[in-house]
Amino acid sequence: MTRQILLVNGPNLNMLGTREPEVYGSETLADVEALTARVAAEFGLSVRAVQSNHEGVLIDAIHAAREDCAAIIINPGGLTHTSVVLRDALSAAALPVAEVHISNVHAREEFRHHSYVSGIASCVIVGCGVQGYEFAVRRIAALLAG
pLDDT at residue 1, as a whole number: 62
pLDDT at residue 47, as a whole number: 98
Q: Given strand 46-51, what is the order of strands in its sheet?
A: 46-51, 4-9, 71-75, 97-101, 123-126
Provide the whole-model pTM: 0.94
Taking residue 133's Cβ as centre, other Cβ atoms within 10 Å add up to 27
pLDDT at residue 73, as a whole number: 98
pLDDT at residue 83, as a whole number: 94
Query: pLDDT by residue (tens digit) across 75-119?
Result: 999 999 889 999 999 999 999 999 999 988 877 778 677 899 999
Taking residue 105's Cβ as centre, other Cβ atoms within 10 Å add up to 18
pLDDT greater at residue 46 or residue 104: 46
Domain boundaries along the sequence of the chain? 4-145
Has 60 been labeled as part of a binding site? Answer: no
Question: Which band of pLDDT confidence, cut at 50, 70 and 90, is reported for residue 128?
Answer: very high
Has 88 been labeled as part of a binding site? Answer: yes
Q: Which of the residues are catalytic? A: 24, 101
Question: Which band of pLDDT confidence, cut at 50, 70 and 90, is reported for residue 42?
Answer: very high
Superfamily of domain 4-145: Dehydroquinase, class II (3.40.50.9100)
Query: pLDDT by residue (tens digit) across 1-38?
Result: 679 999 999 999 999 999 878 778 789 999 999 999 99
Has 3 been labeled as part of a binding site? Answer: no
Average pLDDT over residues 116-140: 97
Torsion of CA 9, 11, 17, 22, to 10 degrees: -110
The answer on pLDDT for 66 being more than 90 is yes
Burial status of residue 67 (CB atoms within 10 A of its CB: 0-12, 13-18, 19 or more): exposed
Torsion of CA 29, 34, 35, 36, to 10 degrees: 90
